[in-house]
């Protein structure tokens, strides 16, 4: 499933990211790509161990912790430290599937990439092209969001970034290992949680809410990996 998370970062936080980017040294983005992806990846990236990447990564992680919609959609067990990329004119990223397993830098841990995430950091009218295109059984979905907004999609999806033809496209990207590995189970839990939130607004005193909340947690208990 694809989920749009609006307003992850404030306008002030986005402006801070851009100010840091202006002073940063960018490197070839192929350094963090797998063998197949490296052949079609043409962009720039902040070095993942740079002070700038660590500072902005912490900013993004703190923002995600404050987003109930993000938590509900992915049920995160581990989040890969956010990375940051830049597409100048004529840069793009051809069709690829993200690596299934990624070691978390500086730790002995590995992360299974259940969900991929792109956080847009450029205003959409400041560049042409640069759409994220995700392919699934229902066709191709083109995504270009306002700065500070996030798109989540299955890491197993074939996807690409179209060539930038004007301006600069800035974004953060990362992966999440969910407590619930199966995407269909995760989608059911998300739909149930969204329905519970809506019912709580419409009929906050309904005894059915307690029963349905119990169903949600019993399903999560059955499907979650500790």
Q: Which of 30-34, 89-93, 104-108, 205-209 has the lowest mean pLDDT?
A: 30-34
Give pLDDT, residue 44: 96
Q: Reply yes or no on whether the pLDDT at 184 is more than 90.
A: yes
For residue 57, give every residue at least 6 positions away whose Cβ sits within 8 Å of its Cβ, in sequence order, or none. 81, 82, 83, 84, 172
Per-residue buried b or exposed e for 126-149, using 16+ beta carbons within 10 Å of the residue's own CB: ebbbbbbbbeeeeeebebbbebbb
How much is the pLDDT for 27?
A: 95
Q: Mean pLDDT score of the chain, rounded to an integer? A: 95
pLDDT at residue 205 in the model: 87
Contact 1/115 with Cβ under 8 angstroms? no
Output the pLDDT for position 36. Answer: 72
pLDDT for position 198: 95
Q: Is the separation of the CB atoms in 212 and 192 below 8 Å?
A: yes
Whether 139 has a pLDDT exceeding 70, the answer reads: yes
Q: Which CATH class is domain 3-178?
A: mainly beta
Note whether 99 and 92 are within 8 A (CB). Answer: no
**61-69 average pLDDT score:** 97
Could you give the CA distance from residue 161 to residue 115 in angstroms, rounded to a whole number? 17
Distance CA(147)–CA(166), nearest Å, equals: 17
Residues 188-218: pLDDT tens digits?
A: 999 999 999 999 999 988 899 999 999 999 9
pLDDT for residue 33 is more than 80:
no
pLDDT > 70 in the chain, percent:
99
Whole-number pLDDT of residue 34: 67
Q: Is pLDDT at 35 greater than 80 in this prediction?
A: no
Measuring CA to CA, how many Å separate 123 from each of 101, 120, 126, 173? 32, 8, 5, 16
- Residue partners of 92: CB distance under 8 A and separation at least 6: 42, 43, 129, 160, 161, 162, 163, 164
What pLDDT does residue 169 have?
98
**Alpha carbon distance 206, 226 (integer Å):** 31
pLDDT recorded at residue 226: 77
Burial of 84 (0-12, 13-18, 19+ CB in 10 A): buried
pLDDT of res. 203: 92
Specify the pLDDT at position 5: 98
Residue extents of the structural domains in the chain: 3-178, 183-223
Give the helix/strand (H/E) hosting 65: helix 51-65
The Cα 31–Cα 33 span in angstroms is 6
The one-character DSSP state at 156 is T
Average of per-residue pLDDT across 163-177: 98
* Architecture of the domain made up of 183-223: Irregular (4.10)
Comparing CA positions, the residue from 84, 88, 85 lying closest to residue 168 is 88
């Amino acid at each position: 499933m694809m989920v749009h998370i609006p307003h992850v970062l404030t306008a002030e936080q986005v402006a801070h990211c851009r100010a840091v980017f202006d002073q940063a040294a960018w490197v070839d983005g192929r350094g963090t790509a797998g063998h197949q992806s490296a052949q079609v990846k043409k962009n720039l990236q902040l070095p993942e161990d740079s002070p700038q990447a660590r500072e902005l990564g912490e900013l993004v992680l703190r923002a995600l912790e404050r987003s109930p919609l993000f938590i509900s959609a992915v049920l995160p067990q581990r989040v890969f430290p956010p990375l940051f990329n830049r597409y100048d004119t004529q840069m793009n990223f051809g069709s690829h599937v993200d690596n299934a397993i990624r070691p978390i830098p500086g730790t002995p841990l590995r992360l299974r990439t259940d969900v991929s995430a792109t956080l847009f950091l450029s205003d959409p009218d400041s560049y042409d092209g640069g759409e994220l295109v995700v392919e699934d059984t229902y066709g191709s979905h083109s995504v270009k969001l306002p700065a500070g907004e996030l798109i989540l999609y299955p890491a197993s999806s074939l996807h690409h970034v179209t060539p930038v033809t004007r301006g600069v496209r800035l974004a953060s990207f990362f992966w999440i290992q969910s407590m619930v590995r199966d995407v269909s189970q995760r989608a059911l839990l998300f739909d149930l949680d969204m329905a519970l939130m809506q019912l709580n607004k419409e009929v906050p005193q309904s005894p059915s809410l307690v029963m349905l909340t119990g169903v949600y947690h019993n399903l999560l208990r059955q499907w979650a990996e500790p």
